[in-house]
Amino acid sequence: MNKSATYQVVFMDVLAPAVQRVIASVFGPPFETRFALNYDARHQTELCRAADFLVPGWAQLTGEMLEAAERVQAVHKWGIGVDRIDVQAARRLGIPVAITAGSNAGPVAELAITLMLAVYRRIYYVNREMRAGKWPKSEMRETCFQIHGKTIGLVGFGNIGRKLARRLAGFEPGAILYCDRYAAPAEVEHALGARRVELPELLSRSDIVSLHAPYDESTRHLIDASAIRRMKKGAVLINTARGELVDEAALASALKRGHLMGAGLDAFDPEPPDPGNPLLALDQVIVTPHAGGGVFDNVAPVAAHVLRNLQRFVAGESIAAQDLIVSENRRTP
């Protein structure tokens, strides 16, 4: 590590001033922070050219941007999903890519539960009705439900899925099922009260299906018309992962037909969704703007996670395997 060097750390997302201040307060010499003003491709590319380290969150990082980023030594995702980063270009250019594994798991798990409750208790509809001077108490009793006793199916059982299972325990669900390409250790399953099954069984048995899988070509439209037909009549779909996991047209059709009770969606394809997206017109759909990890009291911990990895990088130390997407085949600036 060159003790006299300074490093420009560019945060590619447009962040609120209060969030910028928290991040800047976590970082210090030899790191200097800079924040994007907008998502215009030309502006983002200029930021890339000036950066030693890039920190994209929702911002897209293309191969062309990486080609222009001749000083960049590493890319560090704010969060975990790398589907908006051209990982193949980074690998070709010798640019390491890291993530903040587990850093957003708690907030995302809490939002998933929030969406479950909001759908089950029809919060959007009832709130609107009351503000219009109505009193839908009797209607709520015949159309609302509780999580207690229900079977919850988790599609993906990494950090977020496991945090969610732990938080759900207090609601005393009837069962927690999960599907994942890798089985969790037996002691983890026992501690969380979760059992691994294949996706068709999970879909057919679950009252609530919550998505926590990464997006790649193998998971595109994982929840399509065929998958939805397998789901129980009156089931609820929650998506706090990636919009591409769900065939939105098939979901809208199932909701209109009454096959599904409702959906809680924090992710869309594309983002932001088209104003004419039929899902936005349905009372039984609760929507949030892909903000599962977007809580103010988690900004400093995530920033500290990024900082620790960048400190390791400039010191020539290894980054934890769970955080490393593209190996440290270091590029010489």
- Catalytic residue IDs: 242, 271, 290
Phi, psi dihedrals of residue 218, rounded to the nearest 5°: -75, -20
> Among 77, 79, 73, which residue's Cα sits nearest to residue 96?
73
Q: Residue 331 corresponds to which tokens in the numbers above? A: 């590029």
Q: Provide the 10 A C-beta neighbour count for residue 136.
A: 15
Helices (H), the chain: 17-26, 41-50, 63-68, 87-93, 105-120, 123-131, 137-143, 159-168, 186-192, 199-205, 225-230, 248-257, 299-314
Please count the other Cβ atoms lying within 10 Å of the Cβ belonging to residue 179: 19
Type of residue found at 220? R
Distance, in Å, from the CA atom of 47 to the CA atom of 59, rounded to the nearest integer, reads 12
197-235 residues labelled b (16+ CB within 10 A) or e (exposed)? bebeebbebbbbbbbbbebeeebebbbeeebbebbbeeb
Give one word for 191, left, alpha or beta, with left for phi > 0 and alpha for psi -120 to 50.
alpha
Q: What does the alpha-carbon distance between residue 259 and residue 251 come to, in Å, rounded to a whole number?
A: 10
Q: What is the rounded CA–CA span in Å between residue 226 and residue 236?
A: 16
Tokens 């900082």: give the residue: 307
